[in-house]
């Protein structure tokens, strides 16, 4: 593409700021045919763009998705390893835009080729923001949520509060419903609570949310971003161009610094949340009550009661209180009254695999926290208990375990390690908790010769059963067996949910003596 053609293409993209803009004939490559990629391709086809979809996996599922896309409109779908190696032509010409799925790294060959050719790269969230305005439908406000941990809990709590306020609201983005599917809903929404991963933020540029929050910041996904500084920079983008409220964690100074550095719109306020007594312009906790000193007129000398800590459940970890306060700040920024915050909390049903009580037997609690896929999340779980038999390990994503083990060494009664390679975690335990017994299950339980993508989960199930058996041998009255891996699951399981289900099944079969009833997890 010549320099003039590139300038013309960039100008055209700059003008594409609504559904009713001139998308017809735009040459677009979509990378990935998973949830977000399929949704992006489907949307672009509906808009009249010329689309080529590329995915490195040539599976029966992906071929079926390709057939579906061909039915709804003109599209080329390229599957297999070669499809991800180069930037394809669209209608015989260089594409004018690439829309990438979140998991594709910037260094991936196709994306590198697009960058070298000067072709802009958007994520599905950027595309969704561009098409959110459509004649005949309401334009939803966005409240955006990111953070190393707690995103899904916060976004679903915010959704519940907003609905309790009488607003048509939905949680979307990284939480399950692709953001473009929410945008294309025939009725439209008043507010969309958008969960954003660091990957999605990396490829987003023009968002202007009503309110935004980074819940916390800890080392994660450094392998994808290339380093912690790059990961932090991606997370900080959540605050850019925010219009009403930048919500930060007063107990995590890194998030406050992000707000201080953000280029926001005139009149936007910084709103803190804390699990301690709140200062002015904060939400916090006073006498086991969640209170608001930010969205009331008399905030200098009073606070509005929002809910009780007990509204969140019988056993409420501190981080759950923090997530509820963050969600409340977003909902209040969107106009939800205090009563709606309380009702939303009471109506909320937590997702599985997050500090989930599986069994209580002979004085031992068995807790499933499979969603703790990094050290920061595992620390939140560990800090909720005292004498812990810790089941941990998995795909580490290049993180450092030393701080996690050092900060929780007094809590460990023993550690049982699963995963293809638990050497980093084992080394941290030897270094910072040398007196804690460590049981490494070894390669015999892990299917070590297989690639992560080849795992059906059967070898992981066997490893989990072995881990539960070891934990049962060690645990005694007053102990908690906590499965909080501090690692991703893909080395042994298709997902963290599958890993959690394997733990639940093992506990029921071995600890409670119910036997193994599931044919396949």
Is 151 one of the annotated binding-site residues? yes
pLDDT at 433 over 70: yes
Beta strands 245-249 and 169-173 are unpaired
Higher pLDDT, 102 or 286: 286
Question: What are the tens digits of pLDDT across the range 379-389?
Answer: 989 988 999 99
Q: What is the mean pLDDT of residues 489-501?
A: 93
- Global confidence as pTM: 0.79
Whats the size of the chain, residue-wise? 521
Is 469 one of the annotated binding-site residues? no
Are 401 and 393 a contacting pair, CB within 8 Å? Answer: no
Residue 447: band (very low, low, confident or very high) from pLDDT cuts 50, 70, 90: very low
State the average pLDDT for the chain. Answer: 92
User: What residues contact residue 82 under an 8 Å CB cut-off, 6+ apart?
Assistant: none
pLDDT at 288 over 70: yes
Mark out the alpha helices in 237-307 (DSSP H runs): 253-261
Is 152 one of the annotated binding-site residues? yes
**Would you give the end-to-end CA distance of the chain in angstroms?**
50
pLDDT at 421 over 60: yes
Is 93 one of the annotated binding-site residues? no
Give the whole-number percent of the chain exceeding pLDDT 90. Answer: 80
The CA–CA distances, whole Å, from 480 to 17, 144, 415 equal 53, 35, 12
Helix (H, G, I), strand (E, B) or coil at 289: strand
Question: What are the tens digits of pLDDT across the range 328-380?
Answer: 999 999 999 999 999 999 999 877 788 888 999 999 999 999 999 999 889 98
Torsion sign, CA atoms 394, 395, 401, 404: negative
pLDDT at 86 over 70: yes
pLDDT at 519 over 50: no
Q: For 104, left (φ over 0), alpha (ψ -120 to 50), or beta?
A: beta
Structure-token match 């032509």, residue found: 89
Q: Nearest to residue 357, comparing CAs of 376, 377, 375, 384?
A: 384
Cα-to-chain-centroid distance, residue 220: 11
Is 177 one of the annotated binding-site residues? no
362 phi and psi angles, rounded to 5 deg: 55, 35
**Token reading at 490:** 């893909």
Whole-angstrom distance, CA of residue 226 vs CA of residue 249: 25
Question: What are the tens digits of pLDDT across the range 193-246?
Answer: 999 999 999 999 999 999 999 999 987 766 666 788 999 999 999 999 999 999
**Token reading at 19:** 């559904």
Is 153 one of the annotated binding-site residues? yes
Are 236 and 264 a contacting pair, CB within 8 Å? Answer: no
> ∠ CA(160), CA(322), CA(214), 5° rounding?
85
Whole-angstrom distance, CA of residue 313 vs CA of residue 367: 16
Least confident of 31-35, 141-145, 216-220, 234-238: 216-220
Is 147 one of the annotated binding-site residues? yes
**Token reading at 141:** 């406000």
Q: Which domains does the chain have, with CATH numbers?
A: 3-126 (3.40.50.720), 137-347 (3.40.1190.10), 356-511 (3.90.190.20)
């Amino acid at each position: 593409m010549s320099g003039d053609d590139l300038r013309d293409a960039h100008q055209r993209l700059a003008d594409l700021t609504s559904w009713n803009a001139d998308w017809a004939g735009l040459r677009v490559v979509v990378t990935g045919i998973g949830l977000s990629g399929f949704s992006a391709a489907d949307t672009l086809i509906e808009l009249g763009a010329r689309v080529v979809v590329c995915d490195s996996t040539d599976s029966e599922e992906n071929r079926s998705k390709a057939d579906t896309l061909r039915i709804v409109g003109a599209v080329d779908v390229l599957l297999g390893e070669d499809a991800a190696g180069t930037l394809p032509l669209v209608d015989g010409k260089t594409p004018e835009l690439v829309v990438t799925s979140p998991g594709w790294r910037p260094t991936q060959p196709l994306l590198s080729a697009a960058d070298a050719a000067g072709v802009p790269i958007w994520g599905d969230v950027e595309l969704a923001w561009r098409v959110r305005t459509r004649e005949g439908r309401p334009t939803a406000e966005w409240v955006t949520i990111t953070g190393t941990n707690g995103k899904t809990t916060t976004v679903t709590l915010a959704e519940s509060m907003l609905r309790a306020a009488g607003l048509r609201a939905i949680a979307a983005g990284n939480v399950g419903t692709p953001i473009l599917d929410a945008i294309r809903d025939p009725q439209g929404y008043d507010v969309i609570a958008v969960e954003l991963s660091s990957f999605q933020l990396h490829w987003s540029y023009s968002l202007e949310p009503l309110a935004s929050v980074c819940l916390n910041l800890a080392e994660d996904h450094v392998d994808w971003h290339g380093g912690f500084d790059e990961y932090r920079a991606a997370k900080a983008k959540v605050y850019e161009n925010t219009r009403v409220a930048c919500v930060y964690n007063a107990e995590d100074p890194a998030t406050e610094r992000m707000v201080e550095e953000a280029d926001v719109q005139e009149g936007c306020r910084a709103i803190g949340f804390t699990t301690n007594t709140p200062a002015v312009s904060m939400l916090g906790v006073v006498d086991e009550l969640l209170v608001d000193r930010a969205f009331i007129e008399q905030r200098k000398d009073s606070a509005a009661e929002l809910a009780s800590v007990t509204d969140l459940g019988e056993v409420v970890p501190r981080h759950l209180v923090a997530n509820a306060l963050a969600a409340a700040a977003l909902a209040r920024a969107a106009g939800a009254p205090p009563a709606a915050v309380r009702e939303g909390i009471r109506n909320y049903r937590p997702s599985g695999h997050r500090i989930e009580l599986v069994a209580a037997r002979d004085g031992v609690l068995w807790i499933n926290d499979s969603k703790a896929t990094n050290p920061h999340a595992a620390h939140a779980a560990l800090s909720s208990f005292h004498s812990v038999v810790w089941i941990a390990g998995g795909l580490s994503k290049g993180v450092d375990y030393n701080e996690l083990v050092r900060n929780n060494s007094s809590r460990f009664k023993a550690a049982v390690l699963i995963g293809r390679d638990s050497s980093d975690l084992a080394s941290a335990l030897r270094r910072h908790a040398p007196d804690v017994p460590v049981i490494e299950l070894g390669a015999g339980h892990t299917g070590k010769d297989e690639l992560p993508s080849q795992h059906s989960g059967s070898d992981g199930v066997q490893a989990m059963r072995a881990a539960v058996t070891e934990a049962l041998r060690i645990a005694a009255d007053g102990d908690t067996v906590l499965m909080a891996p501090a690692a991703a699951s893909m080395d042994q399981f298709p997902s963290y949910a599958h890993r959690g289900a394997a733990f639940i099944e093992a506990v029921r079969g071995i600890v409670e003596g119910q036997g193994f009833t599931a044919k396949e997890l």
